[in-house]
Every structure is written in C-alpha cells, then in structure tokens.
Amino acid sequence: MRTMTLTRRPSKNAVQARDLCKVYPNGTVALKDVSVDVADNEFVVVIGLSGAGKSTLLRCLNRLVRPTSGRLTLFGEDITRVNGTHLKQVRRRVGMIFQQFHLVRRLTVIENVLVGRLRFNASPLRGVLSMARVFPRREREFAFECLRQVGIEDLAFRRADALSGGQQQRVAIARALAQEPEVFLADEPIASLDPRSAETVMQILQSIHEERNIPVLVNLHHIDFAKRYGKRVLGMAKGELIFNGTCRDLDRDTVSRIYGDKAREALQELSVA
C-alpha cells in the first residue's frame, strides 16, 4: 500500500503590491508607497478610519482604480496597466462586494446571480432577456449552488428590492461567487447591516475562504470584527500602510496612529492595556 503523507499546499502570492501610489485627478493622495503581499491561503482584514485609503487599495486590486505608480501583480501576472479586454479579464478573476450591495433592484435574486455568470454565455442578448428563463439549466444550477453557499436559495425568485440589507448582501456575495473568482474582495461589507446580519456575512466570507480555498481581503471600519476574523490585519492611515501583522501584535501607539481620536474605543475593543 502506498503511504500517504499529509502535505500542506505551498502558498503562492495571490496579490503583490509594490510601492503603490494613487493620486486622484483632484490632487488627493489616496495611497502612498503601499507594498504588501497576500498569499493565496490568507484571510486579511484592512482597518483604518474613513479616508485612510482602504477602498482605493481594494479598488486597485481589481483595477477599478488605476494606480498612479508602483506595481501590482495578480498570481504573478502584472496587472498595473492592463486595459481593454485584458482589464475585463482581470476584473472577472477578482470577485468584489460593496457596502451598498449594487444589485439590480428590479430583477429577482437568481437573475442577479446569473449576471455574474454572463461571461460564460456567448450571446450578449441573454443579458436583456429574462435570464432565469433563457439561461441553460446548468447555469441556473450553478447559480442555485452559489445561493446555497450563502444560505438563501429559498429567496431565489424574490425581487432583490424586497429583501433586507443582510439578504441583499448575501445575494451580492452569491453573484460574485458565480464569477468563480480567484480572489474575493469586500469593501466595508457589513457597514450598513445590523449586528446579526453583519456576523452572518462575516461567517459566509470565512466559509468561502475555507471551502473554496480562495484568498479574501475585507475592509472593515471596526476593530472588533477585524480581531475575530482577520488572520492578518493591515492598518492604514492617511494613505499609508502602517501596520501589517496580527491583532495581537497591535500596540497602543500603532492603534493611536490608525484610529486617531477614536483610538480609545479601539483599544477597549482590543483589550490592549
């Protein structure tokens, strides 16, 4: 009999940012020389006050934002300056959800998820037809599978705008999953949700990470969720990455630099003496 040795899959770099800078056309410097690596087996939480540059960083990673300078690679491929068809391909490889869900409100849940599958269908006409009816059975089954992963398959035929915030965010996650992304980004996914829905959404993100084996990066305003879910935490302030470690490694001084005048609350939540 063959002996089996249990070996962990060696981790690879999913994302590599080097000296990333973003200056918006109005002169705002949103990122200053940010360098960070994210391995393909990581769940990373990015913390920082509003305006720290968290959204800009995530938006660079799926190239919704074009970095002003620096270098960005996705699984070893340089994506810093891609455009046109190549850029579309990059965006498909990176699933993203937002604070405001961005669903098509008048479509049903399953139709919203099928939007994530559009790239797998040749005819652009499918986009305008009633999708749940014209999509091939295997596409619909796949979409149902995505809804199952977020626990709302029973809501498949409800209109998106009839759902609660927490349910809408789960639809958005299912839609991103339907893209079969290689990396999952979430920009303040729980900021508009009640505490219970927030917990559910974070648990779903964690299950996606564990079951699908894909790296997840989540921007979070609050440190308590970061502490519980982030295996690794990145701390941003004024466009700079000023912390890269675990919550346990955060000291008073760093918390003060990340949270400014809100540092006291953050320290309490962290129980840092």
55 binds Mg ion (CB under 5 A): yes
56 binds Mg ion (CB under 5 A): no
**Which of 25-33, 51-59, 90-98, 166-174 is the region at the interface with Mg ion (rule: CB under 5 A)?**
51-59
Non-local (6+) Cβ contacts of 124 within 8 A are none
Phi, psi of 6 (to 5 degrees): -80, 110
> Contacting ligand ADP (CB under 6 A), which of 12, 19, 24, 248?
24
The residue among 126 and 262 lying less far from ligand ADP, judged by its C-beta, is: 262
| C-alpha count within 13 angstroms, C-beta hemisphere, residue 20 | 32
The residues in 99-128 that bind ligand ADP, with binding defined as CB under 6 A, are none
The residue among 13 and 256 lying less far from ligand ADP, judged by its C-beta, is: 256
The residue among 58 and 113 lying less far from Mg ion, judged by its C-beta, is: 58
Longest dimension (CA), the chain: 67
Give every strand in the sheet of 232-237, ordered side by side. Answer: 94-98, 183-187, 216-220, 43-47, 232-237, 240-245
26 binds ligand ADP (CB under 6 A): yes
| C-alpha count within 13 angstroms, C-beta hemisphere, residue 24 | 13
The DSSP call for residue 98 is E
* Nearest distance from C-beta of residue 238 to ligand ADP, angstroms: 8
Per-residue contact flags (x/-) with ligand ADP for residues 37 to 56, judged by CB under 6 A: -----------x-xxxxxxx
Cα 15 versus chain centre, distance: 13
Angstrom distance (rounded) from CA 137 to CA 141: 6
**Which of 1-9, 19-27, 52-60, 101-109 is the region at the interface with Mg ion (rule: CB under 5 A)?**
52-60
67 binds ligand ADP (CB under 6 A): no
Angstrom distance (rounded) from CA 194 to CA 206: 18
For tokens 């940012």, the residue is 17
260 binds ligand ADP (CB under 6 A): no
The residue among 49 and 173 lying less far from Mg ion, judged by its C-beta, is: 49
Binding site for Mg ion (CB under 5 A): 55
